[in-house]
Chain A
Amino acid sequence: MPSTPYVANKPKDIPTAEALRARIPGWGVDLDPKDRPSYPQEVFDPAGTGAHWDYPEEQQGGENRERSIEHGQLTPVFGTSVPLKGVSGSIRRYAYRYSEARAAHWLLLLAGDRVDAWGSHLVSIAKLRPDNPITETGVLSEGRRHGIASRFGKRRVDVNHQWLDPIVVGGPWVAATAGAVLVARAIRRRGRG
């Protein structure tokens, strides 16, 4: 007989409910799809959330807070972990001119992230508390957590790209250093000429 999709009703080769119940603790306790916590997805129950307001009191200090232009207003509550600042802050603020529907919004935010990271590393050097790539990348766990034994002989498919990670982290710095050296040489040559 042809296999299942080619006929209407070939029975599946699965154990009985009794067998599954005996083997797997709790099998079928949520059997009824209509008796599950997220069914249906939308249940109108504003009294059941614990909120004792129709609209929350507004958090103070949001005057210059960046927001998506898809919002009609600043949300009444917002995070304050890292306010915009510096060059990366300007890039990010510019990104918020575009809606979430625009690639420019997200690509500018990613650009701001990279500028933020590079700038923060430079500032850490200037403040004489430079970032420590050994401790901050946690790379010492390679020795303590069996880096070689965990990776090789295990048929892991991610080994084929993990070599890229140090390039992603250190590559821009190597490129920037090389660029600075080339610029310095060019300036020196011009000075001699």
Chain B
Amino acid sequence: MKAMVYRGPYKIRVEEKPMPRIEHPNDAIIRVTTAAICGSDLHLYHGLMPDTRVGTTFGHEFIGVVEEVGPSVQNLKRGDRVMVPFNVYCGSCYFCARGLYSNCHNVNPNATAVGGIYGYSHTTGGYDGGQAEFVRVPFADVGPTIIPDWMDSEDAVLLTDALATGYFGAQLGGIVEGDTVVVFGAGPVGLYAAKSAWLMGAGRVLVIDHLEYRLEKARTFAHAETFNFGEYDDIVVEMKRTTDFLGADVVIDAVGAEADGNFLQHVTGTKLKLQGGSPIALNWAIDAVRKGGTVSVVGAYGPIFSAVKFGDALNKGLTLRMNQTPVKRQWPRLFDHIRNGYLKPNDIVTHRIPLEDIAEGYHMFSAKLDNCIKPLIIANPS
């Protein structure tokens, strides 16, 4: 089968790989129809995530058709159209039993601090991802869900991570009616978080980025006020000014490890890999939120230490809430919101790229060319 393969930092290619096989009785093999490149895939692509091995196939956002199931699979059969959460999880461990699907303890031998994720290095378990024609999906009775007939395929693939994560990020903020919510990052997760903040009753939603085309999308898609931090000497002061010097009630970090805005932090964090990512957005979030406020972190960071301004968080009495998203917990409510017309996920899709051209897709997304917001990968045209 054809699959995207990592060759080292900034280098990938499409190769012929052996077909994935059933390795556990509750495995399924999925023929991928559509996948997506996630902003967090860029951390792997840039060599930022420890134990990213040459030969790995990335891709934790994908949908497809069941090709084969293991002998203990009860809920799926060959031919079913399924959407697969980015979490690999067992459904039965201490953490899964409590709804912490993204923190499963039974699927990732390489680390205890993170659960299993498809195509996201051996630090998250060593599973190949869905930027390929076929992929192995463990615990087929737990994670995958049959795509409802009424659902658009592109909406389904966006539900596997980006939309669920943006919505989850807004929930972590504990938004109450009338709150002022600041979202750092106008990428897919930030756009969905901003949109979700309104559903939870926000009174103001402000989105910050440095890419004008993404801020334009934040205005039209997420009805947000926007700020280009490149235009301000100090974006934190601007956030104070626009909130009457109170600070925001809730700030959501939807940027993560590759934040821009401070040359030294960026170079040490993402170019030299001396930090677990550049924590500029997180530090801005800590400083822009009001005392007693909440910072929600859904931007992805690596496992190494980062230079976070923890003293400010302590002295301001902040609540910091964060996690990888337990995707499937979000789905029933998000299905309703899509069906009711409150959310139109695929409004942010900008590019649809054949698997064969994925190297150019990664470069375009990484370098932010051609007004790229969300690129989808067409693996097997249906």
Contacts and interface: CB of A to CB of B under 8 A. Distances in A.
B126 A141 contact: no
Contact of A106 (B50, B128, B199, B362): B50
Which of the listed residues B7, B96, B116 has the most CB atoms from chain A within 10 Å of its own CB? Answer: B7
A131 B11 contact: yes
Which of the listed residues A56, A135, A169 has the most CB atoms from chain B within 10 Å of its own CB? Answer: A56
Contact of B92 (A26, A36, A39, A51): A51
Interface string B355-378: 000011111100111111000000
B33 interface: no
A54 B303 CA distance: 30
B97 interface: yes
Interface in B277-296: 290
Contacts of B346: none
B100 A75 contact: no
Interface stretch (A110-118, A175-183, A185-193): A110-118
Interface string A100-120: 100100110110111011101
B329 interface: yes
Contacts of B201: 17, 27-28, 30-31
Contacts of A75: 105-109, 125
Contacts of A26: 198-199, 337, 340-343
Contacts of A120: 7-8, 54-55
Interface residues of A, number: 105
A155 B228 CA distance: 9
Chain B contact patch, size range? 35 or more
B125 A136 contact: no
Contacts of B360: 138, 140-141, 144-145
Contacts of A13: 244
Nearest to A135: B359
Contacts of B153: none
Majority DSSP secondary structure for residues of A touching B: loop
Contacts of B34: none
Contacts of B56: 81-82
Contacts of B337: 26, 29
B369 A137 contact: no
A65 B370 CA distance: 43
A29 B47 CA distance: 41
Interface in A6-37: 10, 12-15, 17, 20, 23-31, 33, 36-37
B267 interface: yes
Contact of A100 (B111, B138, B142, B199): B111
Contact of B98 (A30, A43, A67, A141): A43
A121 B178 CA distance: 56
A77 B74 contact: no
A135 B13 contact: yes
A141 B245 contact: no
Contact of A150 (B111, B231, B368): B368
B312 interface: no
B354 interface: no
A93 B9 CA distance: 21
Contacts of B47: 113-114, 117
Contact of A4 (B7, B98, B246): B246
Contacts of B290: 5
B226 interface: no
A57 to B, nearest CB: 6
Interface string B112-135: 110010000011011110000000
B2 to A, nearest CB: 15
Contact of A59 (B24, B142, B178, B231): B24
Interface stretch (B61-69, B155-163, B169-177, B183-191): B169-177
Question: Top 8 A-B pairs ranked by shortest CB distance?
Answer: A26-B342, A79-B126, A138-B363, A117-B8, A51-B91, A49-B91, A14-B203, A79-B127
13 contacts: A4-B246, A14-B180, A45-B99, A51-B92, A52-B72, A67-B110, A100-B112, A109-B50, A109-B51, A135-B13, A141-B363, A145-B369, A146-B369
Given A24-B198, A77-B106, A155-B231, 8 more contacts: A26-B199, A78-B107, A79-B127, A82-B56, A110-B50, A132-B13, A157-B230, A169-B11
